[in-house]
Every structure is written in structure tokens, then in C-alpha cells.
Copies of this chain bind each other. A is one copy, B any other.
């Protein structure tokens, strides 16, 4: 398969126009987003949806999450990322196949229906995880385009995927919320592969695989600025697979928790990786592209 988005192959970063659309379908009155929302996603690469879920649904997701993080014994060991020092659970991958409520969330029409509309195809979960970032010592997550990694390391051919973060704790300005560079999704920034011999030591430290360079990031932020959507638990942040994003660390007492789902178009299922020959394991990048059966109605039985 032709590599339409080569990266990590040149000694200098390159910025190429995106080949694929952002909104793959065409807006119509029956679409699950308004025309303005659709245009916002197209132009800025992200969208914030509030009040999608009822308080009872949010409470149920939070309770399930707390239980999963506190007692992960029933889960597959390889899907859990633990804190090296304390052994606390930081992330649980492939959560949509390990927990019924998370499976139901992934298939919910309010998420999967929007993904199907924007990607104009049946969709499946490329990656899912539950993230818990504690207060006081939450770590930063450096800038990156997910697509660059998914393409090079996992073999995702085209830009026809998106992520949804369902906030399960409040995003405040101070607890290291997700930061996005709106508009950055419209170009593809390649990452440097072989570090030239004459780079300075300070450059060397940053020239790891898949890490965008400082000069390009500076230009992007100068041109587009930074958005850091805030929101109550239950807020959903949708962002394009090629949007540059990251987050600062968090010394506040306020933890961050979210359920994270990556939807990919079934027509865009993974091929062989375009970089290293061995793809990452399926719990990080699903190779089975069985389309989701989308579910309407509330996530949980309200007991009525």
C-alpha cells in the first residue's frame, strides 16, 4: 500500500497539506450535529459537546470507573498501565471489550452516531482507554498528532478517524486540561527520523521518534493559538486524528479522569505499519475492524 503520509524518514521536519477531508460526509438536516458544529469541527478540528448525558448516566460512569481503577483484578494484565512507584492504575486499555458499561458507552449513538456521520462510514473502536491522572503529581503529555503514530506504528492508512474524550472529572484551567492547536489538523507535520550528527545536545534530547519539532510548534501556536476546553463531568471533547494536542502536568489536588474512545472508519482499517515492521499489540491498536452496532437510549436503566 502506498504511504501517503510518510514520516520519520527525513532529517528535517516537513509540513504537507492534508490529503483527506476532515468531515467526510456532507451535512444534512437529519445529521446528529448542527451545521455550525460541523463547520467548527471542519475548520478547527475539535468540538465540545455538553449535556449529552444525564446526571444519572455521568454518575454511573464515574462509579464504574472508580471501581475499575480500585480493583483491576478482573482485567487483562497487559491492558493496565501502572504507576511505577505506587502500583496505582493510570490507564486501562481496551476498556470497551472488558466492561459492559464502557462497551455500551462506545456504541452509544450520541458518540458513535456522531463519529459515523463525520467519518461517513461504519465505525469501529481503534483504541479505547480509561485514564486516571492524579492530582499533585500529574505528568505532562507532550504535543503530538495521534495520526502520525497510528500511521507509522500501527498502519492506519488515511486520516479518517477521530477521538472522543468523555470527561469524568472537571477540566479546570489549572488541572492540566487537554490543550489543542485549532486548525493544526489541516496540515501534516512529519517528524524527524535520523538525527543528523551535527545537532546540539539540547536538540538531541527532543529529537525522539514521533515528536514534533519546536520550531514547527512555535509557528503553529503563533498562527492558531491554543484552546483548552473546560467542562463539567460528562462533557465530550471530539477531536480529529491529526490535531496537534498535549497537556501540562498538574500540581493541583484535582485529578483528571476520562473515558477515551478512538473511532476509525471501517474502510480505513489498519494495514501493515508504514514504519517498523511489527505493529503495536491489538489492545493499543485494534486490527479487527468489526463495525459497531450503534445503540440509542440511556446508558443505564433509570429503574423506572
Contact = CB atoms under 8 A, between A and B. Distances in A.
B85 A228 contact: no
Interface in A135-158: 135-136, 140, 142-143
Contacts of A136: 206, 214, 217
A201 interface: yes
A234 to B, nearest CB: 21
A223 to B, nearest CB: 11
**Number of identical monomers bound together in the oligomeric complex:** 2
Contacts of A2: none
A233 interface: no
Nearest to A249: B249
Nearest to A143: B251
A253 B201 contact: no
Nearest to A88: B202
A79 interface: no
Contact of A174 (B205, B218, B228, B254): B228
A210 interface: no
Given A179-B174, A202-B85, A228-B174, A140 B246 contact: no
Specify which of A206, A226, A247 lies most central, judged by the most chain B CB atoms within 10 Å of its CB.
A226
Interface string A201-227: 110011000000010011001100010
A201 B251 contact: no
A86 interface: yes
A201 B85 contact: yes
Contacts of A85: 201-202, 205
A222 B253 CA distance: 9
B253 A140 contact: no
Interface string A280-300: 000000000000000000000
Interface string A238-256: 0000000011111111100
6 contacts: A136-B206, A136-B214, A143-B251, A174-B179, A179-B251, A248-B251
